[in-house]
Amino acid sequence: MNMTWAEWLPLIFLAVMGLSLLAYVVLDGYDLGVGLLLPLADDAQKDIMIASIGPFWDANETWLVLGVGVLLVAFPFAHGLVLQALYLPVAVMLIGLILRGVAFDFRVKAPLAYKAFWNRAFFAGSLLASSAQGWMLGSYITGFDKGLLGLAFSLGIALTLPAAYTLLGAGWLIMKAEGELQERAVQWARRVLWPMGFALVAISAATPLVNPAVIDKWFGFPEVFALLPVPLSCAVAFFAVRWVVTHPDVVKAGYGWVVFVATVLIFVLAFFGLSYSIYPDIVIGQMTVWEAAIATESLTVIFVGVAITLPVIIGYTIFMYRVFWGKARALTYG
């Protein structure tokens, strides 16, 4: 059956919102991971770690603004439900992001005696933001269930997502650093890999319990065979990371980027799996994408603005990463 423009338009905005949030999770995820790893490094290495994300970290958050902005203007009914249910974790996330921003600048400009304090503040902001995002994701998957099982599931993802960000941050440092810091990043990736893997498997197994609709979508016939490449690809990516971090000579040969790319692949596949599981709902069990959307006429006007803004953001992001690509030095970039 052919869909009309009025039916396609909400899906286009849903895709833009999904792309924005996925880009945010990947791009801001690695710099949150670097912040979580900061206490494990010495002072000289901390400067290189901060330098590796210096040109990118605030621009990465542009994607969060775009994603939430699309949710607000295109799906205001869903925005009201989501923000009402997640008011507290959203506030905690914003406090963490603000703390990171303040600490990032003050650790350089404040007297040397206070540098350690601002390093700890940067770590605390990273932990707050990543844990709050995990809680928000868990609450969203359960349909904002306030029961014991729903709260336990949200807590599980609040603990899992920082671990995943840490692996992503370690992969970033393997690409951007050299020498001892690169070697330590490999060690950090090796240590967090299995805990993150076990946690992700546990969360995946628990998801059908908190959202029974997932069972039919993933384990029905013939869907189970069509979707089998998703978990298999995740497994391949996981063991690719493991192989690289257990063979330091592979990293020295210039293939350390595999850790970052394979971790990103896991994030992308997990995002695809979540999107497939909840579609066509935008608020699970409460509201579909078409029910949440505003009038077609209004969406058409907003579509013009998004069609201009999105390519600009994509182009700027690509240009920024090309300009500042290369190995990081203390407060300079190769």
pLDDT band at 114 (very low <50, low <70, confident <90, very high): confident
Cα–Cα nearest to 293, from 79, 134, 113, 106: 79
In the DSSP assignment, the letter for residue 255 is: I
The pLDDT of residue 323 is 87
pLDDT band at 156 (very low <50, low <70, confident <90, very high): confident
Lowest mean pLDDT among 58-72, 212-226, 280-294: 212-226
113 burial (CB, 10 Å; 0-12 / 13-18 / 19+) is: exposed
Could you give the CA distance from residue 91 to residue 238 in angstroms, rounded to a whole number? 33
20-59 in b/e form (b: 16+ CB < 10 A) is: bbbbbbbbbbbbbbbbbbbebbeeebbbbbbbbbbebbee
* Confidence check: pLDDT of 122 > 60: yes
Could you give the CA distance from residue 115 to residue 224 in angstroms, rounded to a whole number? 53
- Per DSSP, which regions of 188-288 are E strands? 281-283, 287-288
Strand partners of residue 283 = 287
Q: What percent of the chain has pLDDT over 70?
A: 98
pLDDT band at 143 (very low <50, low <70, confident <90, very high): confident
* Confidence check: pLDDT of 123 > 80: yes
The pLDDT of residue 332 is 44
What does each C-alpha distance from 70 to 14, 16, 66, 97, 244 come to in angstroms?
8, 8, 6, 20, 39
Residues 6+ apart with CB under 8 A from 157: 134, 135, 137, 138, 141, 203
Interval 51-90: pLDDT, tens? 899 888 888 888 988 998 999 899 998 988 888 889 999 9
Average pLDDT for residues 114-143, to the nearest whole number?
92
Q: How are the residues of the chain apportioned to helix, strand and coil, as percentages rounded to the nearest 5?
A: 85, 5, 15
**Token digits of residue 142:** 């359960």
Phi, psi of 287 (to 5 degrees): -155, 130
pLDDT band at 330 (very low <50, low <70, confident <90, very high): low
The pLDDT of residue 306 is 92
The pLDDT of residue 200 is 81
Q: What percent of the chain has pLDDT over 90?
A: 54
Q: Is beta strand 281-283 parallel, antiparallel or unpaired with respect to 287-288?
A: antiparallel
Average pLDDT for residues 199-220, to the nearest whole number?
77
Phi, psi of 286 (to 5 degrees): -125, -35
In the DSSP assignment, the letter for residue 280 is: T
122 near 38, Cβ under 8 Å?
Answer: yes
234 near 276, Cβ under 8 Å?
Answer: no
The pLDDT of residue 144 is 86
Task: Name the residue with tokens 């990947």.
Answer: 26
Signed CA dihedral, 112, 117, 120, 121: sign only: negative
Total length of the chain: 334
Q: Which of 22-26, 103-107, 194-198 is most confident?
A: 22-26
Q: What is the Cα Rg of the chain in Å?
A: 20
Average pLDDT for residues 92-112, to the nearest whole number?
88
pLDDT band at 1 (very low <50, low <70, confident <90, very high): low
The pLDDT of residue 192 is 93
**Token digits of residue 327:** 């190995």
Could you give the CA distance from residue 214 to residue 206 in angstroms, rounded to a whole number? 11
Other CB atoms within 10 A of residue 243 CB: 14
Average pLDDT for residues 234-256, to the nearest whole number?
92
Signed CA dihedral, 92, 97, 100, 101: sign only: negative
Lowest mean pLDDT among 102-111, 201-210, 240-249, 270-279: 201-210
* Confidence check: pLDDT of 227 > 80: yes
